[in-house]
Amino acid sequence: MGTWHTRGLRGSTLEDMVNRTNERYLEQELALIQKIPTPITPVRMDKEHRQITLAYFEQRSTVDYIGAVQGIPVCFDAKECNADTFPLQNIHEHQIIFMENLEKQQGISFLLIYYTARNEMYYMRFEEVAKFWNRAMTGGRKSIRLEELDPRFFFDIRSGCFVPYLDMINLDLELRDERS
């Protein structure tokens, strides 16, 4: 079981960028997306500074973000990767189950993967997540190589912090409509 203390600020840059983007989308009335906090149990407190210095995660969280985009339920998780290979151990079974269930309710589930060394974002559709997950669960490769990804879903961060994932949702919806 991980602790608050040992995880540090991993992923906080991406989280800050996504949170700012979500605020902007809300201001523009394009989407309502909220960060889902991970429930913790404080173990050690710094009473002088009134801060938690050590805590345990109470339970598994679902995904990082949940909300709606123009009436469509949306959920996604934001992941950072510093190499050209994304390890599937960064995704948990309970997240796959949650995302799959949201898809069954006509929602859109995806991962946002920030390749930090390249300063590039990737929108991984749930269909793609499930394909790689199932491959790993049946004894196949336990990571995703950059060259396996759909080039249409790579995008750049704008203005240093804006993550335009709504553009990718639109492309995702177009592909879903083509298959229907």
Structure tokens, 98? 């949650």
- pLDDT by residue (tens digit) across 131-162? 999 999 999 999 999 999 999 999 988 887 89
Q: Which of 79, 116, 99, 174 is nearest to 166 (CA)?
A: 174
Q: Residue 128: beta bridge partners? A: none
State residue 104 phi and psi, 5-degree precision. Answer: -65, -20
Q: 62 and 91 in contact (C-beta within 8 Å)? A: no
What CA–CA distance (Å, rounded) separates 19 from 163?
9
Q: What pLDDT sits at residue 179?
A: 85
Residue 61 Cα distances to 70, 95, 114, 169, angstroms: 25, 8, 20, 23
CA angle, corner 178, sides to 143 and 166, nearest 5?
65
Q: What is the DSSP string of 27-73?
A: HTTSEEEEE-PPPEEEEEEETTTTEEEEEEE-S----SEEEEETTEE
Q: What is the residue extent of each domain of the chain?
A: 4-179
Ligand-binding site membership of 64 (annotated): yes
State residue 16 phi and psi, 5-degree precision. Answer: -60, -45
Q: Residue 22: beta bridge partners? A: none
The model scores a pTM over 0.85 = no
Ligand-binding site membership of 89 (annotated): no
| Stretches in the chain below the pLDDT threshold 50 | 1-11
Q: Which of 155, 159, 149, 157 is nearest to 171 (CA)?
A: 155
Q: Which fold is adopted by the domain 4-179?
A: Trna Endonuclease; Chain: A, domain 1 (3.40.1350)
End-to-end CA separation in angstroms for the chain: 42
Ligand-binding site membership of 95 (annotated): yes
- pLDDT by residue (tens digit) across 10-31? 446 889 999 999 999 999 999 9
